[in-house]
Each structure stands twice: as structure tokens, then as C-alpha cells.
A = this chain, B = another copy of it.
Amino acid sequence: MRIDVKQCAELLAQQDNILILTHAHPDGDTLGCGFALCRALMKMGKICAVENADEIPKKYDYLYEDIVQIKFKPDYVVAVDVATTNLLGELDGKYHIDMCIDHHSTNTEYADNLLLEDVPAACQLMLEVVKALDVELDDKIANCIYTGLTTDTGCFRYASTTAATYRAAAEMIELGADNGKINRTMFETKTKTYARLERLALDSMRFYEDERVAIITFTQEMYKLTGSNEQETEAIAPLTRQIEGVEIGITIREKADGTCKASIRTFESVNAAELAKAFGGGGHNQAAACRFDCGVKEARTNLVIKCGELLK
């Protein structure tokens, strides 16, 4: 069932012992949503917690480090920024999910569904939800919402960023969001291992289809050489698309078991989700991902062939 912001807030107000699930491999938007909602519900006196399949990267500590998590049996489960249940990773199937709050056009409507596709970050929608809950917003909720706004828009850079996104950011700063520090942490801090990995990644970049496709490949060997890891590849994915003339930028990451995953970034000329879908993946128009059971070279060949078809 589709619900609107008001119904969403009413349903949440009726519940207690609420568990919030974020997607696996959690990013700033799903975590910002999760902890903004958790903080708002706790302000209403409810027992509430956030659970994720994977470890939360250390840079997001400030979103939740002051929250005291209580163990409880959930009566109501809410998934945030989770388009399909398989994106919950290991949590998929563990709980019956009652509500979903999301902004992905690929959402499969697996629960009572608050879906708004016109916002570049789920946190922009979540801000409407926490406002409708009628709790007093504070700097900590503002930090959560701001984190989702800025990370899912590439720091307010992408074309999908609207006037309303900028206004939401202004409101969060007025509430005390530490925009300078958050952006520095998210966009301006490279670990030394990351800096080394980035150099190898730029060396691995190859061009195809009249240089309209650029592909970076990460191997397990590269992680060993640099002391880095797969988590640090995330920020490198957009680099492929930045070269003049490139319409499809792809990063392929080799897993420990020899299979791999591809992140796809495009401009308006190519639908990234369509390319990912050809390999069983999904995502947004300009950012999508898919998995392969084969090695990086075979995956690259298959991707280049499909890119050629889409660029015709």
C-alpha cells in the first residue's frame, strides 16, 4: 500500500519497539535516514534501534555514537532507503517488514510504502517525516539529515539536486548541522591508503568505444599493495565519468572469491540502471550497480559489449 507523509507519521506514532533497517554496505543516506528517524522516535519516548547487515564505516560514527542501543523484540519494522529486500543483505528474510521509506524508482513496494522519486536523497523525504512526527528537531537530527542530503547529491553537485534540496540543507544548518565538518569528512579526507589506491586505480583506467566508456578495475592484489580495501573504492567510482567525452564510467571490483561487482556512472545519454539490469542489477538513472559470477576480465568484456549496444 502506498502511504503519504501524514499517514506514515500516524502509523509510526501508533507503534512502539520499532526496528529500523538500512541497506547493506550502508552509505550516508540510508544511515542518515535511519538515525534521524531513530532519534525522532526516541524523542517521542519510543524504544527504537537501527540494524544493518554490514559494518558501518567509521566516518559515520557521529551519526549515532551518543545513542544508547537497547536490545528488544521489535513490534514494527521500517526499512529506509531500501529499494528491494535483497538489498538488506544478510538481514533479508530475518524480519517481516511493515513499512518502507524510500526514493528509488526501482522500489518493489514490499511493505506500506512511502515513496517519493523526485528527491535526490531519501533524507529529504525523511525530513518531511520527522517534521510530521511533531518532535522538536535538534542539531543531531540535523546532522543525520544533512549527511544524507550531501552524500546522495555528491555535495549538492548532481543535476538531480533541486531548490528544495538546497532549502532543506539551509534549514539543517540553521538547526546546527556541522556542514563544514561533515563535508570535509565525506568528500575531502583521503586516508593515505586511499591516496595510494587512487593512484593505482587511475593507472588501471582503460577506454573503450571511441573513449566514450572508461573502466577502472580493482583487484585483490591492489588492496594488498596499498593496504587499502574495498570500502575505499566507493569514492573512486565517480572518477571514471569525469574524463571529457566519457559517457559511461565503470569501476569493477574483484571480490575475495574471484567474482566481482561493477559500479556504473553515466550522464543523461545512457541509463545506468538499464545497463545494470542487463546483468541482474539495478539503481538510478545515472548511478547503478550489478554483480558477476565471473572474474574481472570476463565481466569487463561483457560490460563493454553491452555499452556498445546502448551507445548506438
Residues of B contacting A170 in the complex (Cβ-Cβ under 8 angstroms)? 163-164, 166-167, 170
How far, in whole Å, are A83 and B267 apart by their CA atoms in the complex? 38
Residues of B contacting A198 in the complex (Cβ-Cβ under 8 angstroms)? 202
Residues of B contacting A164 in the complex (Cβ-Cβ under 8 angstroms)? 170
CB neighbors of B among A156-176 (8 A): 156-164, 166-167, 169-171, 173-174
Residues of B contacting A267 in the complex (Cβ-Cβ under 8 angstroms)? 184
Cβ-defined contact, A191 with B155, below 8 A: no
Residue-wise interface mask of A (236-266) relative to B, using a CB-CB cutoff of 8 A (1 in contact, 0 not): 0010011111000000000000000000000
Q: Which residue of B lies closest to A211 (CB)?
A: B192
Say yes or no for A220: interface residue by CB 8 A criterion.
no
Q: Smallest CB–CB gap between A138 and chain B, Å? A: 16
Residues of B contacting A95 in the complex (Cβ-Cβ under 8 angstroms)? none
Cβ-defined contact, A242 with B171, below 8 A: no
**With A161-B180, A166-B169: A188-B156 Cβ-Cβ less than 8 Å:** no
Say yes or no for A277: interface residue by CB 8 A criterion.
no
Cβ-defined contact, B173 with A160, below 8 A: no
How far, in whole Å, are A171 and B163 apart by their CA atoms in the complex? 7
Cβ-defined contact, B163 with A173, below 8 A: yes
| A interface SS class | helix
How far, in whole Å, are A158 and B156 apart by their CA atoms in the complex? 12
Say yes or no for A187: interface residue by CB 8 A criterion.
yes
Residues of B contacting A190 in the complex (Cβ-Cβ under 8 angstroms)? 242-244
The listed residue (B160, B161, B163, B242) touching A189 by CB distance below 8 A is: B242
Say yes or no for A229: interface residue by CB 8 A criterion.
no
CB neighbors of B among A128-170 (8 A): 155-164, 166-167, 169-170
Residues of B contacting A161 in the complex (Cβ-Cβ under 8 angstroms)? 179-180
Cβ-defined contact, B241 with A188, below 8 A: yes
Residues of B contacting A171 in the complex (Cβ-Cβ under 8 angstroms)? 163
Q: Which residue of B lies closest to A238 (CB)?
A: B188
Say yes or no for A195: interface residue by CB 8 A criterion.
yes
Say yes or no for A224: interface residue by CB 8 A criterion.
no
Given contacts A155-B156, A156-B156, 15 further A-B pairs with CB under 8 A are: A155-B155, A156-B166, A159-B180, A159-B183, A162-B173, A163-B170, A163-B174, A166-B173, A167-B167, A167-B170, A188-B241, A190-B242, A192-B245, A195-B243, A198-B202
Residues of chain A at the chain B interface (Cβ within 8 Å) = 155-164, 166-167, 169-171, 173-174, 179-181, 183-184, 187-192, 195, 198-199, 202-203, 238, 241-245, 267
